[in-house]
């Protein structure tokens, strides 16, 4: 029976991470465990920046965005010597297992630690929704709401000036934020890594919206890392009747108080993580599939194919 567990957040922050920290801490304490916060991700684990968590220290954090534990990237964690330093820091404090909240890179670190004798459970904390074993990641829904709110405001001003608003959203090569926002906002065009970026085709479609359909404005949502939206906006101005304006939403998408869905998801996943560790299980990650909280071996989760976006893409096209 384990007595002490740690919890860390790694990679990019996402709304709901604090709710997960709260859940792991409260469920752990109520189960007779001592819970330790590992600050600044794997970097803090290596450096020994580890402190006990209490009911008081995690009070009121369920409503807060970001992560009270901080986050940092440590590419060197792939080196066994670095991981051995981390394990020495854990064992010095009697920490026998760890909950890791982050993306697939964080999962790989958790798997390596499990192989080295420290059971770890991964929770999917990222706004990108790019962890294929789970239907939703912690933070995705809140980021989506942030995007929808921003695009709704941009529509008001675009409509007043016969503009085409080109909005770049995050996603890290996963198009879920763009596609979901496109449907929810009533965007005219969505561009993701799945759709591809055919510049001439998009310009032709915008001219059709202007000259044939007589639209007063247009909304184009593009996933990051596909094209320079500012340069593309200039081409829209030069080649269509719309005045092109680019908006990069950037890190505003990561901030803000988590929505109720993300608070619930994080709480359910945090409970599941503690239960798995208390059963002596490690090397797994928690997911939500068809509205049920489940877990998968990390090795399997990292190679699971993503579900087809075709149904949602078809819906968007039928709504256009």
Reading phi first (left if > 0) and then psi (alpha if -120 to 50, else beta), residue 256 is in left
Whole-angstrom Cα distance, residue 59 to residue 53?
10
Question: Is 115 labelled a binding residue?
Answer: no
Question: Is 161 labelled a binding residue?
Answer: no
Question: Is 251 labelled a binding residue?
Answer: yes
- Please name which of 210, 217, 230, 226 lies closest in space to residue 186, comparing C-alpha atoms: 217
Query: 57 CB contacts (<8 Å, ≥6 apart)?
Result: 25, 37
Q: Which of these is catalytic: 128, 176, 194, 210?
A: 128
H-helix or E-strand containing 89? helix 80-92
Annotated active-site residue 128? The verdict is yes
Question: Is 12 labelled a binding residue?
Answer: yes
First CA to last CA distance, the chain: 57
Question: Is 28 labelled a binding residue?
Answer: no
Question: Is 254 labelled a binding residue?
Answer: yes
Question: Is 102 labelled a binding residue?
Answer: no
- Give, to the nearest 10 degrees, the angle between helix 140-161 and helix 260-278: 160
Whole-angstrom Cα distance, residue 69 to residue 300?
28
Q: How many whole angstroms from its chain centre is CA 24? A: 19
Question: Is 128 labelled a binding residue?
Answer: yes
Question: Is 304 labelled a binding residue?
Answer: no
User: Exposed, middle or buried by CB within 10 Å (0-12, 13-18, 19+), for 126?
Assistant: buried
Question: Is 64 labelled a binding residue?
Answer: no
Question: Is 188 labelled a binding residue?
Answer: yes
Cite the active site residues: 128
Q: Which residues are annotated as a binding site for substrate?
A: 126-128, 163, 170-172, 224, 245, 251-254
Q: Which residues are annotated as a binding site?
A: 12, 22-26, 73-74, 103-106, 126-128, 155, 163, 170-172, 186-188, 215-217, 224, 245, 251-254
Q: Which residues are annotated as a binding site for ATP?
A: 12, 73-74, 103-106
Q: Which residues are annotated as a binding site for ADP?
A: 22-26, 155, 186-188, 215-217
């Amino acid at each position: 029976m384990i007595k002490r567990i740690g919890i860390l957040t790694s990679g990019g922050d996402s709304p709901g991470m604090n709710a997960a920290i709260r859940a792991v801490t409260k469920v752990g304490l109520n189960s007779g465990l001592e819970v330790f916060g590992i600050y600044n991700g794997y970097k803090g684990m290596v450096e020994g920046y580890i402190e006990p968590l209490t009911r008081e220290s995690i009070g009121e954090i369920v409503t807060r965005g970001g992560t009270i534990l901080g986050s940092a990237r440590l590419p060197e964690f792939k080196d066994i010597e670095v991981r051995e330093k981390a394990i020495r820091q854990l064992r010095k404090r009697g920490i026998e297992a760890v909950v890791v909240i982050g993306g697939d890179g964080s999962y790989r670190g958790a798997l390596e630690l499990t192989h080295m004798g420290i059971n770890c459970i991964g929770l999917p904390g990222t706004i990108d929704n790019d962890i294929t074993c789970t239907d939703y990641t912690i933070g995705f829904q809140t980021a989506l709401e942030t995007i929808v709110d921003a695009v709704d405001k941009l529509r008001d001003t675009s409509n007043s000036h016969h503009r085409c608003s080109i909005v770049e959203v995050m996603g890290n090569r996963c198009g879920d934020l763009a596609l979901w926002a496109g449907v929810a906002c009533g965007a005219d065009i969505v561009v993701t890594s799945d759709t591809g970026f055919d510049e001439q085709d998009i310009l032709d479609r915008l001219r059709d919206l202007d000259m044939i359909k007589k639209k007063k404005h247009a909304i184009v949502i593009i996933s990051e890392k596909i094209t320079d939206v500012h340069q593309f906006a200039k081409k829209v101005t030069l080649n269509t009747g719309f005045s092109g304006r680019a908006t990069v939403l950037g890190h505003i998408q990561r901030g803000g108080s988590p929505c109720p869905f993300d608070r619930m998801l994080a709480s359910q996943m945090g409970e599941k993580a503690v239960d798995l560790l208390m059963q002596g299980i490690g090397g797994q990650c928690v997911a939500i599939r068809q509205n049920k909280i489940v877990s998968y071996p990390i090795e399997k989760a990292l190679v699971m194919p993503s579900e087809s976006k075709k149904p949602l893409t078809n819906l968007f096209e039928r709504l256009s």
